[in-house]
Structure 1
Amino acid sequence: MHYCSCFQLCPPSQHLDNAEIYDNDFIDPQYILSKNWSTSTLQAQQTIIEWANEVSNMGPWTVMNKSVTPSSGDKHHYMSWAPYWWLDCSKANNQMELTPEQIWVMCPYVSRDSQFDPDVWTLINDIGTFGDMSDAILYSSLAWAINGNTSYVDNVAKWIKTWFLDSDTLMNPNLNYAQMERGPTGQVGTHTGIL
């Protein structure tokens, strides 16, 4: 997951390939809307507008775009993998070559606390998609606050509508498959998926 702010910004391309992580910097929305900024932030403001323009053609995002279907069979379910669970096929009776989908449900996964499984990011799931959409909403909302161009808020409304409201693309209102622990016993999400 990526976090940026007006003061510690990272370009959308870094977010999309999960290359950088920055600290949160929570800013009072009233401060943003007051537009009472120091002239020392002019370059940051221009950067925000450039990034908002860059992401404007990337969306809309939806849970339907993932290449893997949750065990429910419904792509409308938000799905992400538990990052500290690693594949261990050493005990699986795999006399034949297994597809990735078979591996995810047949081979056990073992916990390696504090060791992040890089496989989590190579598989298409919703955590990166939602992060990209969130970044686009942040940049576009800030760009609108900076220059008042309504095309930014029109994009924000379209992206939110696509993710949460349109019947063909909406996310089901649960996180039942968030941070799934894959393997024979892990085809549902975990409580940490809410985080």
Structure 2
Amino acid sequence: MRRWFTFILFFLVINASNKALGQSYRDDVARTLRRQILSEAAWAIKQQPITVTAQSSSRSAGDKHDFFSEGDYWWPDPQNPSGPYIQKDGLTNPEIFVAHRLAMIRFSRIVGALASAYKLTGEAKYVSAALLHLKAWFSDPATLMNPNLLFAQAIQGRFTGRGIGIIDTIQLMEVAQGILVMEKAIEPADLKLIKQWFTDYLTWLTTHQYGKDELNAKNNHGTCWVMQVASFATLTGDQKMLDFCRERFKNVLLPDQMAKDGSFPLELARTKPYGYSIFNLDAMTMICQILSVDGNNLWTYQTEDGRSIKKGIEFLYPFVADKDKWPFKKDVMHWENWPVAQPFLVMGAHAYQNNEWLVTWKKLEHQPAVEEVIRNLPIRHPFIWLN
């Protein structure tokens, strides 16, 4: 009996200690970001909604409520200027239509900032401001976005939309997380309509062929499908999809994408191996952050041959702390713009209580201005993700 009492007491002490350490890391992150959060929220609270209906492109096959974007690495063919575009992997065409993508990034930035400020201060004014944008995007018939991505990453002369375009809505993840942070302060009728949009979008993501194509993508696109679905299913309470995503991470993403040393060979083979390796690790890390629960902790999970998210962080961290040590090819574009304050550093530091990773995260750029970096950094408000 005494032995069992001692064991239980030991467990309770360890559990309390871990909670205290976790709170310490959250407090440290809050102190680091406090000025930035309040400054960005002061900007966000003054903004008016801009949705997909504000601008359109004659090249879109959809209507004004449909999100439209074009493949970044596709260019006019010099030998046939009016014909189908040709691919130049890693080289972004500056003439493609990006207005909807930029509007969604702005939306994400506004809601992420307001939710962060609300979590930090408890002031209801931030929720009221966020609700204007949430209604405009998800429930106002005049300005809402249709809950699908039928026309994303189109290619002139080839496709009116592609499954690969689903990666564009990673920018809605911090919107979904911001709603979770603020939901108790949102009127039930408004919250129901907003959540219904995400329910409808989840249905499209998981049943349409574009969604199925992206689910089965072998590189960061497959990772980002799981990350998005995990985020949106958390908001809507879809336990079946959450369980599916956990199993997908364990049985497909880790064994199929990560090498035994923790690297991502499919990303290293790209023309931007550094940026894509960071991006994929950030996405896998966020999957662990979103989906880990008592009894199913993805932070501690490893495959039979030892692949794990911790190994992935340990592989890449030295090259983020000191980019000059990178032993592979340099990226063909934006080499000088990475790394920034990557989510894998702060989330990994919190999960493993690794102060070195947290210190490195603090030193890096927290508000990047380069569009390509922002596009591949959907988690820009880490405070709302730390429970």
Partner residue, 2:166: 194
Contact 2:62 2:151 in 1 (8 A): no
Which residues of 2 match residues 103-118 of structure 1 at below 5 A? 106-118=82-94
SS of the residue corresponding to residue 159 of structure 1 reads: helix
Q: Which runs of 4+ in 1 moved over 4 A?
A: 34-37
Shift of 1:160: 1.2
CA distance in 2, matches of 1:35, 1:149: 23
Q: 1:35 to 1:54 in 2, by over 3 A?
A: farther
Q: 1:73 to 1:143 in 2, by over 3 A?
A: same
CA deviations 1:129-160 (Å, max 9, x no partner) are: 10110111111100001111111111222211
CA distance in 1, matches of 2:39, 2:112: 13
1:156 aligns with one of 108, 111, 130:
130
Matched, 1:146 2:135: no
Q: 1:147 to 1:110 in 2, by over 3 A?
A: same
Shift of 1:35: 9.8
Contact 2:85 2:158 in 1 (8 A): no
Matched, 1:137 2:111: yes
Matched, 1:168 2:142: yes
2:51 aligns with one of 62, 65, 74:
62
CA distance in 2, matches of 1:78, 1:158: 19
Shift of 1:128: 1.1
CA deviations 1:48-77 (Å, max 9, x no partner) are: 011011122223121111242453351110
Contact 1:81 1:125 in 2 (8 A): no
Q: 1:53 to 1:111 in 2, by over 3 A?
A: same
Contact 1:68 1:124 in 2 (8 A): no
Matched, 1:180 2:180: no
Q: 1:70 to 1:165 in 2, by over 3 A?
A: farther
Partner residue, 1:12: none
Contact 2:56 2:64 in 1 (8 A): no
Task: Give the paired residue count.
Answer: 146
Unaligned 5+ residue runs, structure 1? 1-33, 93-105
SS of the residue corresponding to residue 51 of structure 1 reads: helix
CA deviations 1:23-67 (Å, max 9, x no partner) are: xxxxxxxxxxx8985367435212201101112222312111124
One-letter identity of the residue aligned with 1:49: L
Partner residue, 1:44: 33
Which residues of 2 match residues 90-129 of structure 1 at below 5 A? 90-92=79-81, 106-120=82-96, 123-129=97-103
Contact 1:63 1:171 in 2 (8 A): yes
One-letter identity of the residue aligned with 2:162: T
Partner residue, 1:95: none
CA distance in 1, matches of 2:163, 2:29: 43
What is the aligned-residue RMSD (CA, Å)?
A: 2.5
Aligned identity (percent) is 28
SS of the residue corresponding to residue 114 of structure 2 reads: helix
One-letter identity of the residue aligned with 1:176: L
Q: 1:76 to 1:90 in 2, by over 3 A?
A: same
Shift of 1:116: 2.1
SS of the residue corresponding to residue 178 of structure 1 reads: strand
Q: 1:40 to 1:163 in 2, by over 3 A?
A: closer
One-letter identity of the residue aligned with 1:190: R
CA distance in 2, matches of 1:64, 1:152: 24
TM-score (normalizing by structure 1): 0.66
Contact 1:175 1:194 in 2 (8 A): yes
Greater mean deviation of Cα atoms: 52-61 or 77-86: 52-61
Report the structure, 1 or 2, having the larger helix content: 2
TM-score (normalizing by structure 2): 0.35
Unaligned 5+ residue runs, structure 2? 1-22, 168-387
CA distance in 2, matches of 1:161, 1:176: 22
Which residues of 2 match residues 13-28 of structure 1 at below 5 A? none
